[in-house]
Amino acid sequence: MAKVITFGELMLRLQPYNYERFVQCDHVEFTFGGGEANVAVSLANYGMDVAYVTKLPKHAIGQSAVNSLRRYGVDTSMITRGGDRVGIYFNEKGASQRGSVCIYDRAHSAIQQATTADFDWEKIFQGAEWFHFTGITPALGPNVVEICREACKAAKTHGLKISCDLNYRGKLWTRDEARAAMTDLCQYVDVCISNEEDAKDVFGIEAENTDIYGGSLNHEGYKSVAKQLADKFGFEMVAITLRESHSAFDNGWSAMLYNVAKDEYCFSKKYNLHIIDRVGGGDSFGGGLIYALLSGKDTQAAVEFAVAASALKHSIGGDYNMVTVPEVEKLAGGDGSGRIQR
């Protein structure tokens, strides 16, 4: 199978048990996650050769983070060790009409203070075919923007396909900062992944006649968004995930994949989700899409696989998607009954 490289920040996730609020909890769950790490775990679970790149401290918490990836078969040999902090995010799960809350404590983390000298991209990309990053990583600071730029240039030199999930985070940078950095980085990207809000927040491109909170999506509007993104940056493919938020528990979930060469807009079936954990839902879509494209699936089959993988992730606690290819293909093929498997 093809070798994939993902690059980003692996964080410690602290979360109250069940659906408690921060102010009432007295103990928390301790796990790890992060956009590109979540993609790496998905790909490893699908049997792909995948390596994750970041910078983590040498102490026990840093090693625990590394071990969280090793247990699923992710290659961690390219992780740079150094610095003092593992970034933390506190996650309060929403319920019913109360939305989830995420609070970051990631200032001065090892990766935020990394430099271009910390990563030998020529070595990292040897034998690789695909590179994935998200818009969260360059949001960590100008130095990390420069690291991402060097990674993208090296990936292009080595002939890799590059995918990027825009993943705008307003708590990390402004829209103007995001637009400047991502306009630069997206010139290297082949496959762009976005959602109904990111294209607007980062590039000012939005779907008309759509209300994501009222559950109303305009397919023609999203086709226009995808085409505008592709025309602006020369993307080969644009994927847009479509979430209809009815409550913290209940969402409609689907996606569209635009294949530029074939001038083909493929919409997936829609899943009505009852959510256990939505963190990592977009990352599991990205992992599913990368697997599907590298496996040679056509446009419609690729978006169906990616959406099914993500639908299953919403039923699993934690950042990582713990599903297999047969499980995803079964759901993508139409069996969404949830009946016990004997």
Architecture of domain 3-332 in CATH? Answer: 3-Layer(aba) Sandwich (3.40)
Which is it for the CA torsion 147, 150, 152, 154, positive or negative? Answer: negative
Give the H/E segment covering residue 189.
Answer: none
Predicted confidence (pLDDT) per residue in 309-320, tens digit: 999 999 999 999
Burial of 29 (0-12, 13-18, 19+ CB in 10 A): middle
Share of the chain above pLDDT 70, in %: 95
Q: Does residue 143 register a pLDDT over 90?
A: yes
Could you give the CA distance from residue 55 to residue 203 in angstroms, rounded to a whole number?
29
Query: What predicted TM-score, i.e. pTM, was given to this entire model?
Result: 0.94
Q: Measuring CA to CA, how many Å separate 215 from each of 30, 295, 320?
A: 34, 33, 27
Span between the terminal Cα atoms of the chain, in Å: 30
Residues 6+ apart with CB under 8 A from 78: 5, 51, 52, 53, 123, 124
Whole-number pLDDT of residue 25 = 92
Q: Find the mean pLDDT for residues 177-197.
A: 95
- Position 334 confidence tier, pLDDT thresholds 50, 70, 90: confident
Q: Where are the domains of the chain?
A: 3-332
Residue range 213-239, pLDDT digits in tens = 555 568 888 999 999 999 999 999 999
The C-alpha atoms of residue 215 and residue 320 are separated, in whole angstroms, by 27
Determine the pLDDT at residue 336. 67
> Helix, strand, coil % (nearest 5) of the chain?
35, 25, 40
**Does an H or E element contain 228, and which?**
helix 219-233
pLDDT at residue number 175 = 95
Give me the residue label for tokens 């985070």.
169
- Of the candidates 74, 31, 29, the one whose C-alpha atom is nearest the C-alpha of residue 54 is 74
Around 70, how many Cα atoms within 13 Å sit in the side-chain half-sphere?
A: 10
Q: How many CB atoms lie within 10 A of CB 217?
A: 21
